[in-house]
Amino acid sequence: MDDNPDIENELPERAYEMDANLVDNVLSFIETQDKNGLVTLFDQYHAADIADLFEQIDPTSRSALIQLWGKEIDGEVFAEMDEGLSGELIEEMSDELVSQVLKDLETDDVVDLVEDLEKSEQNRVIEVLDTTDQIAVLNSLKYPEGTAGRLMARELVMAPTHWSVGQAIDNLRKSKTLPQQFYDIIVIDPMSKPIGKIALSTLLRAQRSTQLVELIDEEFRTIPVLQSQEDVAYAFNQYNMVSAPVVDEENRLVGVITMDDAMEVLGDEADEDIKLLAGVGDESLTDTILVTVRQRFPWLGLNLITSIFASIVIAQFSSTIEAIVALAVLMPIVASMGGNAGTQTLTVAVRALATKDLTSANALRVIRREALVGLLNGLIFAIIIGFIGYYWYGFPMLGIVLAVAMILNLLMAGLAGILVPLVLDKFNLDPALGSSALVTTFTDVIGFFAFLGLAAAILL
């Protein structure tokens, strides 16, 4: 019973949030150059939390922290860090410190760490590795970025088809080169081709005399080494896989991908979609101000160009606006509603494409659906905005013009929101990339043109 208060303390309202105390303590250890205090404190935290700490403090403190930590440095922390940041820190570290970092890491983590470095810096880091690891890392780097070849680990647990459960377990006990954690044994034929896998939980429950082939999991999928990491993540998520063997063009086993890697990719991909839709690149809070300005500039520039398009449309109706200023007051409503409706459809479409729920098999049905949704919402809001326009300026025809423009724009918004990502996807472009700007330009242009054009035709 008296455990209760303790448990309450372990359950803060915000679980897992970096505590400000940790940050303060680390900063004061840096100030007093208290290395022992720092090492003792860090011992109580997971590498991922220390990586987060690095992301939370300013660049000067980061360098000072690396210096103070020195040879006690934990390489795992760099594997957990945002890639841009780990690269920056590696660049300012001595060869000695770099080798300290690398010796804690498995080769797939080293690949992750060096792949974004500049060529000369990459070479410096790789030279610090011992020869076996050098070869493994250089081999992985031969595969294109973003493929299974870069994700996979080369530490494998495999067994030939003719072994029994007992032989497999005895060999596991003897082996000295196993990965830290593994979940399956891959069964291979004499040509090194994987023919199935056995979950450790199955292996443990079987009798020692059972033959491995009898236990093979029938739901067995291999990952081609050149498959994109999005597809790898999709497969893990879709088929609830914990690990999967990676094979080369000749179907020979070359590596293994585990769920933690796939989970990271899955998170990254969703993150990328969100950010691309909002017109931000692969940016993080640790980027400097100038880097951020430079990253956001092209998207704002694109938006400037597209909004100038909309202005050119408005400019064609200058004399109409001069005659009825109410049009200038009301026109942003039509454009804004269209932009919003278009973004709704676009977002649903981009996510459905990412999860492969939207395919050529149902595209036509979805297009029709979005057009109808746009039309129906257009009708509803046409009635509302029609009355508002009428009462605001006491001018029934203005209400009717607003209403008709609203219907047209929401219908077109629905169509643009679904067609733009489908067309981008058809041409193998990322449907999230720039589609937001395209759709809102379209709805702005249609919105202003429909409203002002109708006004010019009917009201003047």
Give, as ranges, the residues between 218 and 247 that touch its own copies (CB under 8 A): 219, 224, 226-228, 231, 234-240, 242
Say how far apart CA 347 and CA 358 lie, in whole Å: 12
- The three state secondary structure string of 299-361 is HHHHHHHHHHHHHHHHHCCHHHHHHCCHHHHHHHHHHHHHHHHHHHHHHHHHHHHHCCCCCCC
Single out the segment in contact with its own copies by CB under 8 A; choices: 93-101, 131-139, 372-380, 396-404: 372-380
Place of tokens 């993540």: 233
Q: Mask: binding to its own copies, 179-208, rule CB under 8 A, as x and -?
A: --xxx---------------xxx-xxxxx-
Say how far apart CA 401 and CA 454 lie, in whole Å: 6
210 scored as a contact of its own copies (CB under 8 A): no
344 scored as a contact of its own copies (CB under 8 A): yes
Residue with smaller CB distance to its own copies, 13 or 71: 13
Q: Mask: binding to its own copies, 322-341, rule CB under 8 A, as x and -?
A: x--xxxxxxxxx-xxx--xx
Say how far apart CA 365 and CA 454 lie, in whole Å: 31
348 scored as a contact of its own copies (CB under 8 A): yes
Q: Give least dist CB 20 to its own copies, A.
A: 5
310 scored as a contact of its own copies (CB under 8 A): yes
Residue 18 DSSP code:
P
155 scored as a contact of its own copies (CB under 8 A): no
Exposure of 14 by Cβ count < 10 A (0-12 exposed, 13-18 middle, 19+ buried)?
exposed
Side chain identity at residue 455, one-letter code: A
387 scored as a contact of its own copies (CB under 8 A): no
Q: Give least dist CB 285 to its own copies, A.
A: 5
**Chosen residue from 118, 260, 423, 458 binding its own copies by CB under 8 A:** 260
367 scored as a contact of its own copies (CB under 8 A): no
Which tokens is 397 given? 């025809």
**Chosen residue from 71, 119, 142, 173 binding its own copies by CB under 8 A:** 173
**Chosen residue from 33, 94, 311, 387 binding its own copies by CB under 8 A:** 311
Q: Give least dist CB 387 to its own copies, A.
A: 12
Beta bridge partners of 187: 159, 196
Place of tokens 């299974």: 148
Exposure of 297 by Cβ count < 10 A (0-12 exposed, 13-18 middle, 19+ buried)?
exposed
Residue with smaller CB distance to its own copies, 129 or 410: 410
Q: Give least dist CB 239 to its own copies, A.
A: 6
Among 284, 242, 283, which residue's Cα sits nearest to residue 262?
Answer: 242
Q: Give least dist CB 25 to its own copies, A.
A: 12
Among 229, 274, 241, which residue's Cα sits nearest to residue 115?
Answer: 229
Single out the segment in contact with its own copies by CB under 8 A; choices: 30-38, 41-49, 121-129, 133-141: 41-49
Say how far apart CA 75 and CA 306 lie, in whole Å: 47
Exposure of 451 by Cβ count < 10 A (0-12 exposed, 13-18 middle, 19+ buried)?
buried
Residue with smaller CB distance to its own copies, 109 or 133: 109
Among 11, 255, 237, 209, which residue's Cα sits nearest to residue 111?
Answer: 255
Q: Which long-range contacts (CB under 8 A, 24 or more apart) does 423-432 make?
A: 425/353, 430/276, 431/349, 431/350, 431/353, 431/354, 432/272, 432/273, 432/276, 432/277, 432/350
Q: Give least dist CB 57 to its own copies, A.
A: 8
**Chosen residue from 105, 137, 188, 266 binding its own copies by CB under 8 A:** 266
Q: Give least dist CB 234 to its own copies, A.
A: 6
259 scored as a contact of its own copies (CB under 8 A): yes
**Chosen residue from 48, 158, 195, 216 binding its own copies by CB under 8 A:** 48
**Chosen residue from 54, 69, 143, 381 binding its own copies by CB under 8 A:** 381
Single out the segment in contact with its own copies by CB under 8 A; choices: 30-38, 122-130, 262-270, 394-402: 262-270
Question: Could you tell me how many residues of this chain bind its own copies (CB under 8 A)?
Answer: 138
Contacts of 96 (CB under 8 A, 6+ apart): 71
